[in-house]
Amino acid sequence: MEENKQEKKGTGESSDSLTNRQGHPVTDNQNIRTVGNRGPSTLENYDFIEKVSHFDRERVPERVVHARGAGAHGFFETYGKVGDEPIAKYTRAKLFQEAGKRTPLFVRFSTVAGAMESPETARDPRGFAVKFYTEDGNWDLVGNNLKIFFIRDAMKFPDMIHAFKPDPVSNLSNPERMFDFLSRTPEATHMVTFLFSPWGIPANYRQMQGSGVNTYKWVNKDGDAVLIKYHWEPLKQGIKNLTQKEAEQIQAKNVSHATQDLYEAIKRGDYPEWELCVQIMSDDYHPELDFDPLDDTKLWPTDKFPFLKVGKMVLNKNPENYFNEVEQVAFGTGVLVDGLDFSDDKMLQGRTFSYSDTQRYRVGTNYLQLPINAPKKRVATNQRGGQMSYQVDLAPGQSPHTNYEPSVIGGLKEAEQVGKVHEPHYNDKLVREKIDRTNDFGQAGDTYRSLEDWERDELISNLVDALKVCRPEIQDKMIEYFTNADEDYGRRVKEGVANAMEMRNDTTHTSSAEADEVADKAKQMGH
Ligand code: HEM
């Protein structure tokens, strides 16, 4: 240490002394250069300009959704089987094959609607995104904690997010915006039932489940595919949700409790673990079901499609730098490896365009060169240039002059196809139509009835709190949807809203009524 700290002759530098990004020693980091010690400053002061102009650019745009998050490194260990069967029967993806094989990974958990520094106690789905650095390149499984979603068509996503985010004029959150959209979106009733129950506020990021939500495919060596749903089940840490009141108590003291919980658990060596399970269905229309297997507003019933264990994930290392890793990490549903495939789930297909598109804008054209996003294997492309390009993906023996293919003078070659390609056959009209088996309320009712009593009480009270600030045509439509799901559900929300409206009318003569309303609305949206 002593030796390291010694001054290098003639430069005034030691191993721990400050430099600028050009490598020049910084000899004064306290004073800008001025004419006299109270005079005007000069503009040629490179150290100052470099420092402040870098600071001016310290942020990239936050994610348009899932802006608030926390991340960690870890590994996935495969069981080599799916349930009791050899996994190779269903997928040839290499990371799953050999029992005990470990694949490094990075996970980012998040809330959805809130901004970068918003409270982590919000009633909101939680993102659960996993990047597996496999020997065949990266695989991203970009999921949420809840197993279903609000909508089943990607066309609706931007509107839905606009309705959930603050008013573009006042920048205030307001549940009426959200329920305005939801009351015209009957397929969301199932997700609303989960979200307004205690399942809408997981206690933290460790004690929650994860799910791929959308339907994917697995492909075996013969090119045969099955439909797949992915689920992450917490192991030793279990599952815990919060009541609205518990969440408010935490939020009053700490808006980062989930980030803190994850970071501190890993720091003290209490590594969270999840088991990866899949549900498998044959790749067809399944006329015997009262829903479409490609509809992400539906659960696949576990009595018919049991959870089959595939492997486990352990998170055992905190990020070294939040921005470089958690902020710049870029997950996408298009990022699959051989043996994994897309299904025709319309949400999945829309999502798959959106992620890399936003990341080229949010992080930059060369976002895949950043260490957190680059695969931990050989990369050899003909992509060159673009903002912040700093390395060329050359294969050994590839001429740096030959950035095209085909070529006989030192260019890259196409890889050999191993395993039969999965080639689904299509023969239908191109249309813009919704699916046939919408069944918007059946599973919402099942979910309502499956909740414990205290969870149902919470659900009703949370819905009433939100709906009481909405206008009657929104309230009535939501009550109609809840009644379609389950009569008791609809009746309880109806009574609750009527009581709340009565109390509201009693107090409207007071001068503070309007202020109460704004406070109520803000409280509901977790702000
Ligand atoms: C993040 C789009 C549906 C889970 C994002 C981002 C976009 C996006 C643009 C920001 C990505 C970034 O800046 O890096 C969409 C679209 C959807 C959709 C267009 C529907 C068509 C879903 C669904 C899920 C989901 C159904 C759950 C399965 C996530 C997660 C993140 C995310 C977890 C955060 C990833 C991270 O931590 O960086 N989404 N999304 N999204 N989305 Fe979606």
**Rounded Cα gap, residues 504 and 506, in angstroms:** 5
106: part of which helix (H) or strand (E)? strand 102-111
Contact 258, 120 (CB under 8 A): yes
Contact 173, 123 (CB under 8 A): no
Binding-site residues, ligand 1, Cβ < 6 A: 63-66, 69, 108, 110, 127, 129, 142-144, 149, 154, 157, 213, 329-331, 347, 350-351, 354-355, 358-359, 362
pLDDT, tens digit, 9 for 90 and up, residues 81-126 = 999 999 999 999 999 999 999 999 999 999 999 999 999 999 999 9
Contact 299, 233 (CB under 8 A): no
Contact 441, 186 (CB under 8 A): yes
Q: For residue 463, which of 450, 482, 445, 449 has the smallest C-alpha distance?
A: 482
What is the per-residue pLDDT for 280? 98
Q: What's the 329 CA to ligand 1 centre distance in angstroms? A: 13
> Which of 11-15, 84-88, 216-220, 509-513 shows the lowest per-residue confidence on average (mean pLDDT)?
509-513
What is the per-residue pLDDT for 512? 45
pLDDT, tens digit, 9 for 90 and up, residues 206-250 = 999 999 999 999 999 999 999 999 999 999 999 999 999 999 999
Whether the per-residue pLDDT at 456 is higher than 90: the answer is: yes
**Rounded Cα gap, residues 237 and 66, in angstroms:** 24
Q: Identify the three-state secondary structure at position 455.
A: helix
For residues 366-375, average pLDDT: 97
Q: Determine the residue type at 328.
A: Q
**Rounded Cα gap, residues 100 and 311, in angstroms:** 9
pLDDT averaged over every residue in the chain: 93
The pTM for the full model equals 0.93
516: part of which helix (H) or strand (E)? helix 513-524
Tokens at 250, concatenated: 């935490």
Helix, strand, coil shares, percent, the chain, to 5: 30, 15, 50
**Rounded Cα gap, residues 135 and 128, in angstroms:** 22
What is the per-residue pLDDT for 397? 85
Whether the per-residue pLDDT at 355 is higher than 60: the answer is: yes
Read off φ and ψ for residue 163, nearest 5 degrees: -65, -30
What is the per-residue pLDDT for 504? 79
pLDDT, tens digit, 9 for 90 and up, residues 305-317 = 999 999 999 999 9
273: part of which helix (H) or strand (E)? strand 273-282
Q: What's the 157 CA to ligand 1 centre distance in angstroms? A: 10
Q: What's the 112 CA to ligand 1 centre distance in angstroms? A: 8
**509 in active site:** no
Catalytic-labelled residue, pool 73, 138, 144, 257: 144
Q: For residue 249, which of 308, 195, 201 has the smallest C-alpha distance?
A: 201
Contact 389, 366 (CB under 8 A): yes
144: part of which helix (H) or strand (E)? strand 137-144
What is the per-residue pLDDT for 517? 55
Separate counts of helices (H) and strands (E) for the chain: 13, 12
Q: Identify the three-state secondary structure at position 470.
A: coil
What is the per-residue pLDDT for 510? 46
Tokens at 311, concatenated: 């492997």
Instruction: Report the nearest-CA residue for atom 19 of ligand 1.
Output: 351
Closest atom of ligand 1 to CA, residue 347: 21
